[in-house]
Structure 1
Amino acid sequence: MSAIALHGPTTSMVLECRDDGPPLWRWWGGRLDAETLPALADLRAPASFSLDVDQPLALVPAYGAGWFGPAALRAHRGGRHSAHRFTTQDIDCGADAITVHLRDDAAGLTLVQRIAVAGDMLTLSATLTNNGDTPLSVDWLASGTLPLPHDCTAIRHFTGRHNAEFVEAVEPMPAQGWTREGRRGLTGHAGPPGLFVEGPGATRHAGRVHAAQLAWSGNHRLLLERDDEGYWVLQMGMALAPGEVSLAPGESLTTPDLLATCSNTGLNGAVQAFHAAIRARAPWPTEGMRPRPVHINSWEGFYFDHDEAALKALATRAADLGVERFVLDDGWFRGRDDDTAALGDWEPDARKYPDGLAPLATHVMDLGMEFGLWVEPEMINPDSDLYRAHPDWVLAVDGVPRITARNQLVLDLGRAVVRDHLFARLDALLTGLPIAYLKWDHNRDLAPAAGAEGRAAYVAQVSGVYDLLDRLGAAHPAVEIESCAGGGGRIDAGIAARTHRFWTSDCIDAVSRVSMQRGFLMFMPPEMMGAHVGAAPAHSTGRAQGMAFRAAVALPGHFGVELDPAEMAAEEAGLLAAGIARYKALRDRLHSGRVWLGEGPDGLVWQAHGEPDDLILHVTRVAPTTLRRPPPIVLPMLTGAGDVRVALLEIATVPGHPAPDAPLFAAMRGGGVVIGGDALATAGLPMPAMKAESVALFRLTRAS
């Protein structure tokens, strides 16, 4: 067999070359020697009721030419040339990448499929070019097509809505197909467009898992389909609106990247591969990521009620607690007293800030903190000076009402003139003020969404946002940007290449955040996860939790505060200050190395950050125990780790009425207890008694 292959440390992908068409998929999974695979022609006898020309799964499966599974391309010229037959023009092979150049002379197009490997992560993308002399309408172009084994058992994915992001769903493999399509114009509150496909007996820690996510912040389609030979085909790509993409002669369309990995160490292996890939894409400066500073955000403390003296007092109280960055949220700009007006008019409100924002920013910096600012550049209120001057700058469809959400419309970032205007306003703010951080919000779905020519503009909108972010990043490389969209509505690998942090959810209820943050960590690394201590009762749910628990739940992410410390009792403020100090002491370990997620008995959930020779173990109990004594939790990643020193750093819970303590845990609170790594991986780590809404925090290090 004439094979080309890419290999990761534990995985391989293999293509079989042929003379008259695109390479054929032979393998994607555990590492193997490609030369040991027999040729497909030696395996496939003629099958009943089949075409005389065999049609195995190709790298780029074509529509209408005998392959009846999902096609990588659906395109036509006024209804003609919709069936495609590709020939291979060239294949560029390197140690870490393969680029396949395909032609269809009858349809007048070329298609370039790229695959690269880094670690055990594949990155796939495609470019389609119209070589004809008439427009080419494109209905679908997959970023990549991947083969999955016949014995897959389940799909693990996420659903969600505003204030309820990352709701995990596990479904058995369907009889024939499964599709998830995002149509909101942005990523959506379910989380990144991605999934995990589990093999027989797969768990968090063992077994085969294929996983993929699309690096795109707009409409998307995830597709799994079973062929009549029992195997599965996976595709992902932009979901195009009717008539959205028409390529003029010579024009091209390039897909977003598809990130895909195969883990033979369960879900956690796939999670760790995702984290490594996102970290490699993140826009950190050359010297790398610095420790993630503790935030305070003014929103839930003040909302639109801005008063310069009160905000300076908030900054002072925050600095006393150990906060390192102060972020001024919505309400600072001209005419912005509620959410009905002024979006688009990005100048400080002289009524609230007679001398502009400089005095507040200077006060913040004099306290030793950085100054950050909330913006929502993509949006506009009809009641704004910008809209009155340029009502034609919004996404709209002729004859269709301009539907508002949160009293706002969406600016058309597909237009260069709109991007230029926004860049000028943001550049003026960043040049004129000592702004270290922008909280970049996006508070509505796109509907309707057509550009200046009346054509659907979802792709152009996302591309325009990327262009604006890239331009700002080049002009102000030291400024960090948070991606927020009504909370977690735009969390994906596409915008992760341009922003430094995500706002996980507008819901800061600590109990709700436990599952949300675990869902986030399935795709994204912890240092990008905005995790704040909110007020009690929580503004989104009305539930109240103790301060120690709230701070402990926020600990593993990028820690922040979303309340006014003036409203806290001295004891509660002390607990918050202690939580901030704990975060500062542990953040280097929490935000480097690998992450393992797990479940323990009796409702416990845990996560471990770092490496087996130095781990922060975070064990959470939400509901009361049903058992007299807690069973141990098994930590498989410590197999072969040798002797491990276990230190119990704290049990974050409501003070008073402590449970009886066994001698082992008293010793863990002292100098620590040495337990064999194999024992921790098999018999498990003994657990202290924990109340509902509490977190046990351990540090596990190699015993000297």
Structure 2
Amino acid sequence: MPIQFDEKTHCFHLNNPQMSYVIGIEKERYVTHRYWGNTLPSYVGSNHLQFIDRGFATNPFPEERTFSLNTLPLETSTQGNGDHRIANYQIRAQAGHTITDFHYDSYRIFAGKEAIPGLPSVRATTDVTTLEILLKDSVQQLEMRLIYTLFEKYPILTRRAVYTNVGEATVVLENAGSMSLDLAESAFDLLTLDGSHTNEANLTRQTIRPGIQRLESTRGTSSPQHQPFLALVDRYTSEFQGNVFAFHLVYSGNFIAQVELEQYGTTRVQLGIHPDHFEWHLAPMEQFDTPEVVLNYSNQGLNGMSQNFHQLYQQHLVPTAWKNKERPILLNTWEANYFELSETALIKQAEKAASVGIELFVLDDGWFGERHSDDSSLGDWVVNQEKLPNGIHGLAQEVHRLGMDFGLWFEPEMISKQSQLFQDHPEWALQVPDYPLTEGRQQLVLDLSRTDVQEYLIATLTDYLKTGEIDYIKWDMNRHLTEVGSHFFAAHQQKEIGHRYVLGLYRILDVITQQFPNCLFENCSSGGGRFDPGMMYYMPQTWTSDNSDALCRSVIQYGYSYLYPPIMMGAHVSTTPNHQVGRNTPLETRGWLAMSGNFGYELDLQTLSDEELAIVQQQIVFYQAHRQLFQFGRFYRLQAPDTHFASSWLFTNEEEAIAIYFNGLSRPALPTKYLKMHYLEAAAIYEEVATKQRYSGAELNQAGVLIPRVKEDFHTHVFHWKKISDPRTSVSS
């Protein structure tokens, strides 16, 4: 059994071939953390707890001055009775106090994994086992369930908490954290992914210091500023070696992720919904389910961590219909047209796209209402007949006639003041009485906490999708939330609106994606503004960044690869000079960057020369021939972007391998560079496609390949090998 309870040691041992996680029950009351790391054949408690009479420590058992909740390594915090470290939850009683006293009551172990009502979570029906630990506060008649699911094939477990009121009085959740964990170590570095719009997913590595380090979003979404992720790594950990303890929250709204190095060397990690601007009134017999956290252990460095995330998310998070389905090569009209659309011009673009092998033609913003700029018409999802006299139906038919799929852009969550919808339903926007409505891009946010707004959006999208003419939806969201209030709910519920907004969004996505499982949905929020596991549960890919510059994208895609496989990252070849930074980069380099994600184009093909069109066609043919490798192969980082933006990564599967080296900015006196592959099969033989030279995987891994010096900015070196023998067979080299 992957999860066992030892009556002698009072410990739960969650164990698979790659990882062990041990939970103890202390004094039959407190749930403690005992071990997380490499798999153990058994656990009997060699690392037993030490109890010391500490100054300023309070004692739940007065006669035991060495026993204090402030030093006990816990699996959930306590509230108001001695644990002064960062809290995982806070509950306010009707009397106004915020004291609780949860004690261990019982446990349940069962095969499988239960879905979370109203929330996305990692999908699993087999090869998982769940432990549920029940704690009770007998004074207020409250229950807390700590839920752990162990994946038997990955060094992964998920955690969440459920808070239930079984008493007779309503209580208020002021903080509803998903998990808390105390590690009896302090020699860690903290890894986070931080950034901004058009500059997402920058890796930050800093030493854990005494006190609290936290990252957060109170913007209404997970945000481009901070990914809802953190990792603790040993000081020597690199891409290729060392221990990693990683945490990723499956949620798309306000979040907090924090680490506290406390006075005696314990490191507490806590993740969940951000407690600022949050409350939840928990009536008698009601429960509150928290979002899930993915806990990922690697003893093979950061690439090992990434492999765990990549495999888990692609096989167990994205919609089932898309986990093994190839993604089409697309052309998006945005940077070619912006709001200047006409049916005639679009058909000409589609014809050119079809001629070079494009498989999906996507009409972006500007096709509806009086949408001639970004200051109007959001919410009025009616085709502009002057631009498209034959409607979406006519354009889709033409695109299908050319042998391509057809895609369409929506921004369903937004409403413009200059729209008929706002004139009819001003109360549908998020708002607080008597305060002005703050606009972003001259648009407001629809109140998705309201069921009538949810039903409107479900009906609107259904009307477009039920014809079967739309094969792809780009779902955009281009501002953060302000005036987070709702006419629909009572005054005492206004601090619930932020979370209710996210629940409303998830309900809409759940209904639509289940009704139209074969429509490919792409998540977007001005690029990576809401790139998180919660959205990936409904949409199997995300537009990675509004910054399509190849040099910038080499850093952004590198950063996101710590968590997400390339197939989840939309990446397009755009025009030069680049519209975001004005840089000129070679078409070949732009192509290799885009092929390193979910491949597409975002430019007017009609403006390209015959030579450039030939390169585009070659790129498409190559990608189609090796799509399985790029989309479903294993992806490894070989060199992080340096100060000159040189970086490298590797794709490999059972048939072939491609290593791509971006040399970034050219520089003088360049040292000789040998790039080591690290992850090819050591005993296998690989033949280089260009030269027919054969090498062992061991040689390519350890000796590496020479990176020739090129006096040119943004040059790309590509190494392509076919695997011609398997170590399990006898083949002469």
TM-score (norm 1): 0.93
Q: 1:128 aligns with which of 160, 163, 177?
A: 163
Pairing 1:636–2:678 present: yes
Helix, strand or coil at the partner of 1:572: helix
Q: 1:266 aligns with which of 270, 279, 301?
A: 301
1:82-102 Cα deviation digits (max 9, x unpaired): 122112232112462211111
2:575 is the counterpart of 1:568:
no
What secondary structure is seen at the aligned counterpart in 2 of 1:371? strand
| Maintained 8 Å contact 2:201/2:227 | no
Secondary structure in 2 aligned to 1:82? coil
Kept in 2, the 8 Å contact 1:423–1:468? The answer is: yes
1:637 aligned counterpart, secondary structure: coil
Question: Aligned letter for 2:713?
Answer: A
- C-alpha contact (below 8 Å) 2:208/2:261 kept by paired residues: no
For the pair 1:545 / 2:550, whether they are aligned, the reply is no
Cα distance in structure 1, aligned partners of 2:137 and 2:500 = 27
Structure 1 match to 2:520: 480
Which residue, out of 685, 705, 709, partners 1:685? Answer: 705
Further displaced range: 403-412 or 426-435 = 426-435
Q: For residues 8 and 142 of structure 1, do their structure 2 counterparts lie closer, same or farther at Cα, with a shift above 3 Å needed?
A: farther
Alignment of 1:290-305 (within 5 A): 290-305=325-340
Distance in 1 (CA, whole Å) between partners of 2:659 and 2:184 is 34
Contact 2:74 2:182 in 1 (8 A): no
- Of 592, 595, 610, the residue aligned with 2:652 is 610
The superposition leaves residues 537-556 of structure 1 with CA deviations (integer Å, 9 ceiling, x where unpaired) of: 11111111111111111111
Counterpart of 1:661 in structure 2 is: none
Q: Is the 8 A contact 2:364 2:408 kept in 1?
A: yes
**Structure 1 residue 384 corresponds to structure 2 residue 419:** yes
CA distance in 2, matches of 1:9, 1:162: 41
**Cα drift, residue 169 of structure 1:** 1.7
Indicate how the Cα distance of structure 1 residues 205 and 294 shifts in structure 2: closer, same or farther if over 3 A, else same: same
The alpha-carbon deviation at position 282 of structure 1 amounts to 3.5
**Amino acid in the other structure paired with 1:316:** E
2:45 maps to: 37
Correspondence for 2:144: 111
Q: Which residue of 1 aligns with 2:86?
A: 70
- CA-CA distance at 1:80 after TM superposition: 3.3
Query: Structure 1 stretch 115-124 or stretch 151-160: which is displaced more?
Result: 151-160
Deviation at 1:48, TM superposition (A): 4.4
Structure 1 window deviating more from structure 2 (152-161 vs 321-330): it is 152-161
CA distance in 2, matches of 1:281, 1:192: 20
Mapping 1:15-94, distance limit 5 Å? 15-38=23-46, 40=48, 43-50=50-57, 51=59, 52=65, 53-55=67-69, 56-78=72-94, 80-94=96-110
Which stretch shows the higher mean deviation, 97-106 or 680-689? 680-689
Return the offset for 1:349. Answer: 1.1
Q: How does 1:502-581 map to 2 (within 5 A)?
A: 502-581=542-621
> Aligned residue for 2:536?
496
The RMSD of aligned alpha carbons is 2.0
Query: Is the 1:224–1:235 contact (alpha carbons within 8 Å) kept by the matching residues of 2?
Result: yes
Alignment of 1:256-335 (within 5 A): 256-286=291-321, 288-335=323-370
Q: Is the 8 A contact 1:27 1:147 kept in 2?
A: no
Tell me, in whole angstroms, the C-alpha distance in 2 between the residues paired with 1:283 and 1:31.
28
Correspondence for 2:661: 619
Distance 1:345 1:637 in 2: 52
Shift of 1:415: 0.9
Aligned counterpart, 2:731: none
List per-residue Cα deviations over 1:469-507 (Å, max 9, x = no partner). 000011111111111001110100111100021001111
* Contact 2:186 2:267 survives alignment (8 Å): no
Q: Of residues 348, 351, 359 in structure 1, which corresponds to 2:386?
A: 351
Q: How does 1:123-272 map to 2 (within 5 A)?
A: 123-190=158-225, 192-242=227-277, 244-272=279-307
Native 8 Å contact 1:3 1:34 kept in 2: no
Deviates more, 1:104-113 or 1:531-540: 104-113
Q: 1:208 to 1:544 in 2, by over 3 A?
A: same
Query: Equivalents in 2 of 1:532, 1:287: separation in Å?
Result: 20
Following the alignment from structure 2 to structure 1, what is the Cα–Cα distance between the partners of residues 79 and 449? 30
In structure 2, how many angstroms separate the alpha carbons of the residues matched to 1:10 and 1:59?
A: 21
Over 3 Å counting, the alpha-carbon distance change for 1:684 and 1:304 in structure 2 is same
Structure 1 spans left out of the alignment, 5+ residues: 649-668
Q: 1: distance between equivalents of 2:307 and 2:278?
A: 39
Question: What does the per-residue CA deviation read over 1:488-527, in whole Å, with 9 as the maximum and x for residues that have no partner?
Answer: 1010011110002100111111111100001111111111
Q: How far is 1:578 from its partner?
A: 1.3
Compared CA separation, residues 296 and 286, structure 1 to 2 (3 A): closer
Question: CA 1:235/1:218 → structure 2, altered by over 3 Å: closer, same or farther?
Answer: same
1:451 Cα deviation after fit:
2.0
Q: What letter is aligned with 2:12?
A: I
Question: 1:151 touches 1:199 (CA, 8 Å); kept in 2?
Answer: no
Rate the CA distance shift 1:206–1:612 in 2: closer, same or farther, 3 A: farther
- Residues 28 and 147 in structure 1, CA contact (< 8 A), matched pair in contact too: no
Deviation, 1:684, is 2.1
**Cα gap change, 1:282 to 1:153, in 2 (>3 Å):** closer
Tell me: CA distance 1:148–1:375, structure 2 relative to 1, closer, same or farther (3 Å). same
- Normalised to the residue count of structure 2, the TM-score between the two structures is 0.89
Shift of 1:79: 6.0
In 2 relative to 1, CA 151–225 (structure 1 residues): closer, same or farther, beyond 3 Å? Answer: closer
Question: How far apart are the structure 2 equivalents of 1:403 and 1:73?
Answer: 32
Instruction: Note if contact 1:441-1:485 (Cα within 8 Å) is conserved in structure 2.
Output: yes
Corresponding residue for residue 665 of structure 1: none
Does the 8 Å contact 1:138/1:245 carry over to 2?
yes
Letter in 2 for 1:693: F
- CA deviation profile, 1:206-232 (whole Å, cap 9, x unmatched): 011111111111100001011222121
In 1, Cα distance between the equivalents of 2:190 and 2:322? 39
Aligned residues of 1:167 and 1:190 also touching (Cα < 8 A): no
* Preserved CA contact (<8 Å) 2:657 2:723: no
| Structure 1 residue 696 displacement after superposition | 1.8
Offset, 1:445: 0.4
Distance 2:95 2:210 in 1: 32
Structure 1 pair 163–604 and aligned structure 2 pair: CA distance change class (3 A): closer
* CA displacement, residues 229-257 of structure 1 (integer Å, 9 cap, x when unaligned): 21211110010344532222222211111
The alpha carbon displacement at 1:629 in A equals 6.3
Aligned residues: 681
